Structure 1
Amino acid sequence: MKEKLPFKSEYEKLELLLSQGQFELLLPEGKAAGDIRLVYLMNDAAESFLVFCRAKLTGTYLPDFQGELWADLDQDGDQYVLVVHQEDTVCTLFFQDLKLEVHLFDYGRTGHFWVKGYEYLRQLEYRIAILRDKREYLGEEFCSQEERILSSLAEFPPLNFCCYPAVSEKYLVPSCSWWQVSEEALHVMIQLAEEAGDRGLKKWIGLYRRIPVKCIAKQIARMLHRVKHAEVTDLINEKLAQAASVYERRDFGAGCPKEKQKTQDHQPDREVSEKILRIQEKAQQRKTQLEMSGKQVEMLTEEPFIYAKDSVEYKIHLMIWKQEGKNRKVEIETIDER
């Protein structure tokens, strides 16, 4: 039946979610039938959904279910019927069409500081990882040429989860095999070293290409946090920021997207906007104070989703650069409502 579906690509994405045990529905309020969204890829770079158009849900849906899922799709006249089994519980979706809804955002200045030590490299790992997810889950048409190039660095162990994971090990979901390096990633890193004029790093990456072993990867990882090789990591940071800057920033105030305005009254939006403005003013004042004392400071934002609720609170992190001998390190100050 899949070959005959008018939404074959979307159904393949649905099958991927089900195979991963993921089935989080966003149900319309106060309606017997309407569009029902299924959360697809949600991260700082993209908020996306599979939309069951003109849909109706029957049976029992368990929103907090964690376990094995299986489903059957059938066609009944001019509508489709998706029967989803959550172990012994069954719910059924009747719908007319299945579409992919995608909202892309600027992820170039986001910050999540879950793991201590060389935090600025962990931020690069995080941004590259979510960019790779955007490319893998949504497709290359949702990425620029520059993003497609940079996403290959997800398979460069000296910079990825093998050496600088952004999350602790219990939350880590590797995007490739441990210590596996790709030819594309090596090629991109050699080009970056050339652009930065770093002959020493380029030489080591060339050796790594010939002998792709763990000990050489670890040596390159150590080089990446040295002052001597700072231009390469700064170059990656700036290229990611430039590639991401073509997308819109999340808007939590009166200017939030029309789709969201339909589901919320304006008073909460104003309250959120005022709260965020206070945080931004406080962070800018602190940044200015630090810079006047001679510090180099980078401002990064941690923010919740726009189109689906999550537990993340809006925060601004100040990444304060410092040097300890040959190594580059940072201190982190977090500005929030407290």
Structure 2
Amino acid sequence: MTEETLEKLAQLLEQDQFELLIPEKMRTESGRISDKGSASMDIPLVYLMNDAVESFLVFRNVRMTGEYHSDYQGELQASMARQDGRFVLVIKQDDTVLTLFFEDLELEVHLYEYAYTGHFWVKDYEYLRQLEYRLAILRDKYDYLGEAYCTEEEIKLAALVEFPPLNYCCYPAVPEKYIVPRENPWIPSEKAIVYMKELAAECEDTSLLKMLEFYRKHPAKFWAKRLAVMLHQTKHSRIVDLLSERLQQATADYPRRFFGDDMERKYQQALERAKQRQRELKSQGIRADLLREEPFTIARDSLNYKLYLMIWKEQKGNRVTEIEEYICE
């Protein structure tokens, strides 16, 4: 067990997070660990889960006794000691106690491609909200796992969560009650502005470049909102497209999630339907981008596997989109 894994475990416990993926056969309806819990095995503890990464702290060769309630939401009490050459972790959920006897704790990380992820929880300017979401989960990966799990371009892109015209201040991808606030979200970082200026220069968007320089010197909320408006205007569309391209290039070597042959067959069928529609739109001179919404592979959540077509349109000098859904079934 390394100092890094101990720090990550402490981080979860400080946040009152302790989601074990315990096989159903080891649990009773009351939450008690059955006699089968006395057999040693590897049990993962969820660390960071999002569309970009599924990561776990894995208790190696662990035995468990007591009770564990996966739906518990409240304060945790924890203590750890060493006993007979093994580690002993005691977790208290209110009046119930879970004890884990384990030999080691290791970090397990699975990285995935996320530049084509689509979650349409909030309407209007969906393409900017998708960018906000992808950059936010990238930054979580960077913050929780470090540079070793990011490409060079991802490290640069991660700074853009500190660019208020594009972060959740102006284009939240999730409803307000689900936003995890960052400290001083309206204050831009120098790295973020420099990166956006590089993109604007590459696009030869002189008016946006000037506005970015003005914003760097005067980082007020008013000017952040003004820049946010510019991002959905058709005349500044190239920088948004370039940003999406950078994300696609940065994540190109990561795999897509795989859910078995049966689900893959359903995915390919839905993909063909979506591509057929995409070809029809293209023949009419209409751009449509393919996006997907996936559940997790290991800790399966309630999301269905879906594909989306994001259909681009222009409306009074602004770029807008319509969304079509294709369920993999």
TM bin, normalised by shorter chain, reads over 0.9
Task: Choose which of 327, 332, 336 in structure 1 pairs with 2:318.
Answer: 327
Pairing of 1:267-282 with structure 2 (within 5 A): 270=262, 272-282=263-273
Match of 1:222 in 2: 229
The aligned amino acid for 1:105 is Y
CA distance in 2, matches of 1:247, 1:103: 10
> How many residues are matched?
317
Match of 2:17 in 1: 22
Q: Do residues 106 (structure 1) and 116 (structure 2) align?
A: no
- Bigger drift between 150-159 and 301-310 goes to 301-310
CA distance in 2, matches of 1:29, 1:319: 39
1:35 match: secondary structure:
strand
Q: Do residues 60 (structure 1) and 60 (structure 2) align?
A: no
Match of 2:144 in 1: 137
Q: Deviations over 1:105-124 (max 9, x none)?
A: 01111110100000000000
CA distance in 1, matches of 2:13, 2:61: 21
Asked if the contact 1:287/1:297 (under 8 Å) is kept, the reply is yes
Task: Choose which of 250, 257, 260 in structure 2 pairs with 1:253.
Answer: 260
CA distance in 2, matches of 1:191, 1:274: 42
1:318 match: secondary structure:
strand
Q: Do residues 292 (structure 1) and 283 (structure 2) align?
A: yes
Match of 1:12 in 2: 7
Match of 1:316 in 2: 307
Asked if the contact 1:225/1:327 (under 8 Å) is kept, the reply is yes
CA distance in 1, matches of 2:217, 2:265: 55
CA distance in 1, matches of 2:252, 2:278: 22
User: What is the percentage of aligned positions where both structures have the same residue?
Assistant: 53
Q: Do residues 336 (structure 1) and 327 (structure 2) align?
A: yes
CA distance in 1, matches of 2:177, 2:100: 34
Asked if the contact 1:80/1:96 (under 8 Å) is kept, the reply is yes
CA distance in 2, matches of 1:230, 1:21: 42
Match of 1:264 in 2: none
Query: How far did 1:29 drift?
Result: 5.8
Asked if the contact 1:154/1:175 (under 8 Å) is kept, the reply is no
Match of 1:261 in 2: none
Q: Deviations over 1:50-105 (max 9, x none)?
A: 00000011110011000111210111121000101112211011100000000000
CA distance in 2, matches of 1:143, 1:117: 30
Q: Do residues 146 (structure 1) and 153 (structure 2) align?
A: yes
Pairing of 1:116-195 with structure 2 (within 5 A): 116-195=123-202
CA distance in 2, matches of 1:248, 1:74: 39
Cα RMSD of the aligned pairs, angstroms, is: 1.3
1:305 match: secondary structure:
coil
Asked if the contact 1:302/1:314 (under 8 Å) is kept, the reply is yes
CA distance in 2, matches of 1:176, 1:125: 17
Structure 2: which 5+ runs fail to align?
26-35
Asked if the contact 2:79/2:90 (under 8 Å) is kept, the reply is yes
Query: How far did 1:178 drift?
Result: 2.9
Task: Choose which of 203, 208, 212 in structure 1 pairs with 2:210.
Answer: 203
Asked if the contact 1:28/1:35 (under 8 Å) is kept, the reply is no
Query: How far did 1:176 drift?
Result: 3.5
CA distance in 1, matches of 2:2, 2:68: 24
Structure 1: which 5+ runs fail to align?
1-5, 255-269
Task: Choose which of 189, 209, 212 in structure 1 pairs with 2:219.
Answer: 212
Asked if the contact 1:28/1:34 (under 8 Å) is kept, the reply is no
CA distance in 2, matches of 1:302, 1:18: 30
CA distance in 2, matches of 1:175, 1:133: 11
CA distance in 2, matches of 1:27, 1:253: 22
Query: How far did 1:275 drift?
Result: 2.3
